Amino acid sequence: MFASEPVLHSVTGAQNRRLAWWQWGAPDAPHLVVCVHGLTRQGRDFDAIAAALVARAQGRAVRVVCPDVAGRGQSDPLPDPQAYQPLTYVADMLPVLADLQRRAPIAALDWVGTSMGGIMGMLYAGSPQDTLPVPVRRLVLNDVGPELAWAALQRIGAYVGQTPEWDTVEQAAAALRVTNAGFGPHSDADWLELSRHCLRAAPGGRWRLHYDPAIAQVFRDATPEANAQASAVMWQLYDRITARVLLIRGGASDLLTPAVAREMAVRGPKATGVEFAGVGHAPTLIAPGQQRAVLDFLLPETTDAAS
Q: Judge contact between 76 and 17, C-beta under 8 A.
A: yes
For residue 78, what is the DSSP state? P
Is residue 2 over pLDDT 60?
A: no
| Residue 200 buriedness (CB in 10 A; 0-12 / 13-18 / 19+) | exposed
Predicted local distance difference test score (pLDDT) of residue 304: 45
Task: Quote the CATH superfamily of domain 7-147+234-298.
Answer: Alpha/Beta hydrolase fold, catalytic domain (3.40.50.1820)
What is the model's pLDDT at position 5? 83
HSE (side-chain half, CA atoms, 13 Å) at 150: 10
DSSP element (H, E) containing 101: helix 86-103
Q: In this predicted model, what pLDDT tens digit does every residue of 164-184 receive, in sequence order?
A: 999 999 999 999 999 999 999
| Across 140-153, average pLDDT | 97
Q: How large is the average pLDDT for residues 117-131?
A: 95
Calculate helix-pair angle for 224-240, 150-159, nearest 10 degrees. 110
Beta strands in 236-276 (DSSP E): 244-250, 272-276
> What is the average per-residue pLDDT within 36-60?
94
Residue 129's CB is within 10 A of a number of other CB atoms, namely: 11
**Interatomic CA distance for residues 195 and 253, integer angstroms:** 21
What is the Cα–Cα distance from 261 to 161, expressed in whole angstroms? 29
Question: What would the mean pLDDT of 87-104 be, rounded to a whole number?
Answer: 97
Residue 50: asked if its preceding bond is cis (omega within 30°), the reply is no
CA–CA distance, 259 with 137 (Å, rounded to integer): 26
Average pLDDT, the chain: 95
pLDDT mean over 73-102: 97
- Model confidence at 59, pLDDT cuts 50, 70, 90, reads low
Q: Residues 205-252: pLDDT tens digits?
A: 999 999 999 999 988 889 999 999 999 999 999 999 999 999 999 999
Beta bridge partners of 149: none
Work out the pLDDT band at 302, boundaries 50, 70, 90: low
User: What is the reported pTM?
Assistant: 0.95
Instruction: Give the Cα separation of 158 and 147 in Å (integer).
Output: 20
The arithmetic mean of pLDDT across residues 91-114, rounded, is 97
**Sheet-wide strand order for 108-114:** 7-12, 18-25, 62-68, 31-36, 108-114, 136-142, 244-250, 272-276
The DSSP output letter for 244 is E
Amino acid at 176: L
pLDDT in tens, 243-281: 999 999 999 999 999 999 999 999 999 999 999 999 999
Could you write out the DSSP letters of every residue in 108-173? EEEEEEETHHHHHHHHHHTS-GGG-SS-EEEEEEES--SS--HHHHHHHHHHTT---EESSHHHHH
- Is pLDDT of 3 > 60? no
Residue 303, pLDDT above cutoff 80: no
Q: Is 219:155 a contact under the CB 8 Å cutoff? A: no
